[in-house]
């Protein structure tokens, strides 16, 4: 019996060494260790083994079983490794990997989102209006008379039907006041504006503005100053100085231009003009009241402030961009820097 077991072990391990595929291996396993396998058949012979040899034979039986099981496991592992190796055959795994280019938000999108976030925290809601506007929403209702230079056909894109591409987002002030149900109005409106400007390093015929409007029972100039000072310090840093310089806009009175004192790399700090603003002119409330046909915006009862700024300009100042055309050229060498 012991000899038979030894012979079986030698024969089985030799056969195992030649096995190349999974189904042959399974046949092998069934042939030796299965219910009707030859090792199983031999172990049935234990019954006839004399009692004094049972120990030795039992031990040998276990030894053979363990050797075959281990051999099968090794073969399984070797075949899996061979399969892995075959699947990468012809691929040089030492070559450097291919970089996956990561996209990023356009600098204009980023400054717009930041401005919106900051103003929303202060209670301003988003508003919107059409880019193709009526002369009334863009000019008349904003107290801008027919002989105002902004209305010159050399400055504005007019459509054949008399409508125009809005020259500023201030038209959204009028649209919002026309449709709102109750006071206060506290909105911001980012969007495109159009002018017939000669295109150069600081001008495009399409640019981006952010409009703001706050109308209520006692909105004051102090509210305007506080809101915009806070806003620009959020955008440019808490140390930023903000100055309000008297100016003229037809739709605000008094009106101001806002300058911030900024350090451009390598230069002495200087005042940079960044936005227009002012207290809403009562003539605007009158126009809105006429259009609404009610007295929610009675010029004797409501006050408000409005502001408008160029988002392209903000992005240029923040990132030290010297040519506005970079913002629309979609050159990845430029965009990849953000």
Residue 253 is labelled as binding a ligand: yes
| Comparison of 15 and 122: residue with beta carbon closer to ligand PHE | 122
Paired tokens of 91: 């691929």
Residue 143, phi then psi, degrees to nearest 5: 60, 30
**Applying CB under 6 A, what is the total number of residues that bind ligand PHE?**
10
| Comparison of 257 and 286: residue with beta carbon closer to ligand PHE | 257
| Comparison of 168 and 186: residue with beta carbon closer to ligand PHE | 168
DSSP states of 102-122 as a string? PP---HHHHHHHHHHHHHHHT
Binding of ligand PHE at residue 249 (CB under 6 A)?
yes
Closest CA to 168 of 262, 53, 249, 51: 249
- Smallest gap, in angstroms, from Cβ of residue 173 to ligand PHE? 7
CA distances from 276 to 39, 95, 315 (A): 96, 57, 17
Residues numbered 274 to 313 that lie near ligand PHE (CB under 6 A) are: 276-278, 306-308
Binding of ligand PHE at residue 228 (CB under 6 A)?
no
- Smallest gap, in angstroms, from Cβ of residue 307 to ligand PHE? 5
Nearest-CB residue to ligand PHE? Answer: 308
Please tell me the distance from the alpha carbon of residue 239 to that of residue 252, in angstroms, as a whole number: 28
Applying CB under 6 A, among 9, 156, 170, 227 the residue interacting with ligand PHE is 170
- Helices H / strands E in the chain, number of each: 12, 9
* CB contact at 8 A, 96 and 67: no
Binding of ligand PHE at residue 231 (CB under 6 A)?
no
Applying CB under 6 A, among 68, 252, 260, 326 the residue interacting with ligand PHE is 252
Residue 260 is classified by DSSP as: E
Applying CB under 6 A, among 166, 168, 313, 326 the residue interacting with ligand PHE is 168
| Comparison of 189 and 327: residue with beta carbon closer to ligand PHE | 189
Please tell me the distance from the alpha carbon of residue 74 to that of residue 19, in angstroms, as a whole number: 12
| Comparison of 72 and 284: residue with beta carbon closer to ligand PHE | 284
| Comparison of 143 and 170: residue with beta carbon closer to ligand PHE | 170
The answer to whether the bond into 254 is cis (omega within 30° of 0) is yes
Closest CA to 303 of 137, 128, 127, 184: 184
- Smallest gap, in angstroms, from Cβ of residue 101 to ligand PHE? 37
Cβ partners under 8 Å of residue 331, min gap 6:
none
- Smallest gap, in angstroms, from Cβ of residue 211 to ligand PHE? 6
| Comparison of 231 and 249: residue with beta carbon closer to ligand PHE | 249
Q: For 296-315, what is the HEC assignment?
A: CCCCCCCEEEEEEEEHHHHH
Q: Which stretch binds ligand PHE (CB under 6 A): 237-245, 259-267, 272-280, 293-301?
A: 272-280
Q: What are the start-end ranges of the E strands in the chain?
A: 125-126, 132-133, 164-165, 185-194, 206-216, 241-249, 252-262, 270-280, 303-310
Residues within the annotated binding site?
253
Residues at the site binding ligand PHE, with contacts judged by CB under 6 A: 168, 170, 249, 252, 276-278, 306-308
Residues within the annotated binding site for Mg(2+)?
253
């Amino acid at each position: 019996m012991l000899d038979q077991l030894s012979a079986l072990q030698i024969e089985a391990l030799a056969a195992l060494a030649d096995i190349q595929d999974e189904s042959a291996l399974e046949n092998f396993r069934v042939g030796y260790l299965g219910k009707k396998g030859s090792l199983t058949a031999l172990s049935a012979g234990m019954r006839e083994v004399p009692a004094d040899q049972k120990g030795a034979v039992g031990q040998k039986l276990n030894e053979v079983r363990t050797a075959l099981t281990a051999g099968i496991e090794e073969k399984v592992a070797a075949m899996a490794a061979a399969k892995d190796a075959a699947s990468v055959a012809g691929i040089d795994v030492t070559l450097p990997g291919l970089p996956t280019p990561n996209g990023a938000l356009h600098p204009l999108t980023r400054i717009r989102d930041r401005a919106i976030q900051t103003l929303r925290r202060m209670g301003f809601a988003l508003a919107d209006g059409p880019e193709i506007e009526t002369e009334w929403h863009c000019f008349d209702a904003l107290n801008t008379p027919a002989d105002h230079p902004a209305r010159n056909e050399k400055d504005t894109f007019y459509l054949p039907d008399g409508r125009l591409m809005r020259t500023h987002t201030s038209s959204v002030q009028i649209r919002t006041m026309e449709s709102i149900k109750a006071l206060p109005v506290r909105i911001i409106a980012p969007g495109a504006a159009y002018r017939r400007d000669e295109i150069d390093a600081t001008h495009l015929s399409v640019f981006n503005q952010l409009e703001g409007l706050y109308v209520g029972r006692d909105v004051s100039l102090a509210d305007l100053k506080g809101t915009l000072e806070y806003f620009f310090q959020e955008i440019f840093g808490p140390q930023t100085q903000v100055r309000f310089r008297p100016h003229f806009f037809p739709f605000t009175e008094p009106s101001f231009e806002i300058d911030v004192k900024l350090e451009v790399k390598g230069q002495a700090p200087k005042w940079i003009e960044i936005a227009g603003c002012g207290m809403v002119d009562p003539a605007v409330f009158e126009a809105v009241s006429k259009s609404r046909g009610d007295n929610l915006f009675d010029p004797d009862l409501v006050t408000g402030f409005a502001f408008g700024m160029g988002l392209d300009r903000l992005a240029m100042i923040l990132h030290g961009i010297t040519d506005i055309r970079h913002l629309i050229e979609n050159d990845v060498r430029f965009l990849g820097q953000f």
